[in-house]
Amino acid sequence: MRGNNNKIKVNETAMRHSGAHLLAYAVQTLYPNVKLAIGPAIDDGFYYDFDFGDIKIQEEDLLKIEKKMLEIQKNDYPFVKIEMTIDEAKKFLEDTKQPYSLSLLKDIESMGSTNKSEMSKDKSKSGSDTVTFYKTGDFINLCKGGHVKSLKDIGPFKLTSIAGAYFRGDEKNPMLTRIYSVCFKDKSTLLNYLKEREENKNRDHRVIGEKLKIFMISEDVGQGLPLLLPNGEQLKYLLERYMRKIEENLEYKYVSTPILTNKKLYERSGHVKFYSEDMYQIKDKENNIFYVKPMNCPHHHMIFEKMVQSYRQLPFKLAEESPLYRNERSGTLTGLIRVRGPITQNDSHIYVSKDQLKKEFMDVLSIFQSVYTDLGIKNYYFRLSLPDFKKDKYEGDKDMWDFASSNIREALKESHSEFKEEIGEAAFYGPKLDVQIKNVYGKEDSIATIQIDILVPGRMGLKYINKYGKEETPIVIHRSILGSYERFIAFMIEQTGGNFPLKFAPIQIRLISVSDKYNDNVIELASSMRNLGVRVDIDITEEGIGKKIRTASLEKIPAKIVIGEKEVLNRKNTNEWAFTINWREDLKYSNNLSLSELLDILNSEKI
């Protein structure tokens, strides 16, 4: 069964890669002066990057391009392999005015004879290395291959969106136009996917976040700098309180560190070397250089250095909720998922000895599982990000890298956690475990992470006295259960559709007056409920009852309570409030409750 699944995946990859060629063929036919860049297969489809010059491609142009693709596909051209020497390929690409393909060809040429086999293992008769192109009808493209037999083998497709993308992902390169498409083996799968995609648009955290008054983006404030509105700040506060309670029960000690830090601290930790382009730099009047804090770890290391002397103090657990700022590329910014700041991390650093590492790591996994279950976060998986020692991004002792990696792997297996391994995704200071989840559009993001730092503690000279009376360097577990609160709110919105669990709802109850006659009763009751810890607001506008209830329903308020003559008389006669409660559909509590019974429910959901 496993082998069969792999075979399907390979076939779909070839089909989607071929679809990218068909897209480029159609675009080049419609826009003869277009410059082609890169077009790979991706999950559920493919994309291609184009330089249209002065032409601005809009969403409405996709139908025209798609129509041309279908027209070309009817000719059922085969994919024909063509080999050229490097010199022949250069001349062809120069003659056809394809600078991006020329750039790729130069990379192939500079890779050396061993890596040129990535494009072709063959040699020409003259002994020169060759590269491969693929011809489909009149379209010829530099490509290493992996296609279906002919155009008819490309399954049903649908162009879905346009985005900007830098060539090779480098903002120093030109901004290109990326056209996305989905592609499947049969029409029913495509139609089901498109239907689900359309439904998922209604779960986009940017759309729901605006409707529920969670956050806003202001151009005057700046890209990637969202403003949390009262409901968003309340939700963030509830999550912070929830995590702090859990962590303090597990002996984490909360600290607070400054938002500005002298450059020398980051030089000492090594972050200047590996991370300087992602940090905001400030120079004061005395020419001292400071960074706006992008991470907490170097500051926590200073606290460890001050407070810990003996192995008896380990594990030493520090936690902080501190706003961080990172110089993210504008093209990557997405609502609350990717921001420049504030990035308020649910951050912690656990200082351990070697023999404590696996147990503490397993304890962190346990927190993940219980918290995510409690918060209703589903469909995530763990990605074990390991080093690629062929690259110079990773430093330090290879044995320590292997030790840390094997401890993570063993902890995952012993805790029965599913995970995938990814080479080349480790942090510069150690392997890490990322918690991966897809947003409503299928893009995968890291929601949180656990990292093992085997490099920076030694570089910064952190020491403690071990049980043999000798100095030893601690290992540090960097741990963020919710990642940043802002990003977690985005995923929470998309996973719940805005129907937050009762304990996390920014507003739990809306009191609605039947008429102006009962406004004072509503105001008095709301005040009493707030004093008892209930998150309640009121609607005493002049709108009709039906509209008031509909408005509260659209705002995903868990409970709506109408206050009129019946409720006020009952309160006067019995000295107790009793209500008919209109609960949100996903909440299955009784509709008829006294105030004391309602408070019992809310107290059971208290953080």
What are the structure tokens assigned to 557, written together? 């308020």
Secondary structure of residue 14 in the 3-state scheme = helix
Sheet holding 509-513, edge to edge: 536-539, 509-513, 559-563, 578-583, 592-594
143 a catalytic residue: no
Identify whether 301 is a catalytic site residue: no
Active site residue 345: yes
Collapsing DSSP states into helix, strand and coil, what is residue 164? strand
3-state secondary structure of 6: helix
CA angle 421, 425, 428 (to 5 degrees): 130
Q: What are the structure tokens assigned to 177, written together? A: 């136009």
Catalytic residue among 17, 21, 326, 584: 326
Please tell me the distance from the alpha carbon of residue 224 to that of residue 532, in angstroms, as a whole number. Answer: 37
Residue 175 half-sphere exposure toward CB, CA atoms < 13 A: 9
Token reading at 463: 């020491």
Indicate which residue of 317, 478, 479, 584 is catalytic: 478
Q: Which ranges of 202-339 would DSSP assign to H, the alpha helix?
A: 205-211, 230-249, 263-269, 271-275, 297-307
Name which of 461, 451, 463 is nearest 270 in CA terms. Answer: 461
Which pair of tokens denotes residue 406? 């094997």
Burial of 285 (0-12, 13-18, 19+ CB in 10 A): exposed
| Residue linked to tokens 């069964």 | 1
Radius of gyration of the chain (CA): 29
| Residue 225: count of CB within 10 angstroms of its CB | 14
Say if residues 516 and 523 touch (Cβ distance below 8 Å): no
Run of H or E residues at 476: strand 475-484
Which residue spans within 26-100 are E strands per DSSP?
35-36, 41-42, 45-51, 80-85
Amino acid letter, 574: T
> How far is it, in rounded angstroms, from Cα 176 to Cα 173?
9
Ranges of beta strands (E only) in 52-129 are 80-85
| Options 205, 349, 510, 548, the catalytic residue | 349
HSE, side-chain direction, 13 A CA sphere, residue 477 = 29
Indicate if 183 belongs to the active site: no
- What is the distance of C-alpha 545 from the center of its chain? 41
Query: What is the DSSP annotation of 300-364?
Result: HHHHHHHH--BGGG-SEEEEE--EE-----GGG-BTTTB-SS-EEEEEEEEEE-GGGHHHHHHHH
Give 327's contacts (C-beta < 8 A, 6+ positions apart): 277, 278, 279, 280, 340
Q: What is the C-alpha separation between 41 and 20, in angstroms, rounded?
A: 7
List 28, 73, 98, 345, catalytic entry: 345
Residue located via tokens 């360097």: 473
Exactly one of 432, 510, 548, 556 is catalytic; name it: 432
Q: How many residues does the chain have?
A: 607
d(CA 247, CA 242): 9
Residue given tokens 């001292």 in the structure block: 288
The answer to whether 137 and 72 are in contact (CB under 8 A) is: yes
Helix (H) or strand (E) holding 384: strand 381-386
Q: Is 312 a catalytic residue?
A: no
In angstroms, the CA 564 to CA 560 distance is 13
Residue in 61, 129, 153, 347 annotated catalytic:
347
The catalytic residue positions are: 297, 326, 345, 347, 349, 432, 478
